[in-house]
Amino acid sequence: MPYTPENRERALRIIARYPERRSALLPLLHLAQDQDGWLSPDAMAEIAELLGIEPVEVLGVASFYTMYKRDRPRRLVVSVCTNVSCLVNGAGQVHEAVAEAFAADDEILVEEVECLAACDAAPVLQVNYEFHPVAGPEAAVALVEEYRRGDRTARGVSGGRALR
């Protein structure tokens, strides 16, 4: 989907911060994903137009980075770290339990990710890029369930929420 008028304004402000427009590509992709829950072909085409590059160049860059999701919109992205400090603290079981519990929910993506730089709290996961240490598999499932029910609200699904 195209940017809302408000987000298009933000996109123009972001572009203006850089000496060269193309540098705004990553932030603009975050902005689009936060708005729509994914990167639609339309959104990438609009970004290409804003930056004066080809849509395929946008796709080529977006596909390089793990945070950008291009298959379909999601409401929640659950990222479970399974790198070594989390691994030796039970992350394997946490990932398995969460992936299984929400496998049938199309709006939730459960993914295994590399080290999230929060190893003092291992095992950790993120829901829409908000950090949570979790005590174990049950606690992790219960936490994601709170987000699913809406008892906890998460902001955009790209961590780009902060962009002015």
Partner 1 sequence: MSVTETRIVTRRLREHPDAHTLERYLATGGYEALRRALQMTPDAVRDEQVTASGLRGRGGAGFGTGQKWSFLPAGVHPRYLVVNGDEGEPCTFKDHMLIEGDPHQIVEGAAIAAYAIGAHHAFCYVRGEFALGIERLERAVAEAYDAGFLGRDVCGSGYDLEMVVHPGAGAYVAGDETGLLSSLEGGRAMPRIKPPFPAVQGLYAAPTVVNNVETVATLPHIILMGGDAYARLGVGRSTGTRIFSVSGHVRRPGNYEVELGITFRDLIEGLAGGVRDGKRMKFFIPGGASSPWLLPDHLDEPLDMDHVTQNLRTMLGSGAVMVFDEDTDPALVAWRLARFFAHESCGKCTPCREGSDWLEKVLFRIAHGRGRPEDLDLMLSFGQTIVPDLDRTPFNQTTICALGPSTMSPVVSLDRWFRDEILERCGADRRRIPVVPA
Q: What is the DSSP string of 37-73?
A: SS--HHHHHHHHHHHTS-HHHHHHHHTTSTT---SS-
Indicate whether 82 belongs to the interface with partner 1 (CB under 8 A): yes
Stretch that binds partner 1, among 2-10, 98-106, 118-126, 142-150 (CB under 8 A): 118-126
Distance CA 32, CA 19 (A): 22
Indicate whether 160 belongs to the interface with partner 1 (CB under 8 A): yes
Nearest to 45 by CA among 64, 66, 62: 62
Select the residue interacting with partner 1 from 2, 7, 8, 26 (CB under 8 A).
26
Q: Which residues pair with 131 in a beta bridge?
A: 126
Indicate whether 9 belongs to the interface with partner 1 (CB under 8 A): no
How far apart are the two ends of the chain, measured CA to CA in Å? 21
Indicate whether 65 belongs to the interface with partner 1 (CB under 8 A): yes
Closest CB to partner 1 among residues 41, 60: 60
The residue ranges that bind partner 1 (CB under 8 A) are 17-20, 22-27, 29-30, 51, 60-61, 64-68, 79, 82-85, 87-88, 113-122, 126, 128-131, 155, 158-164
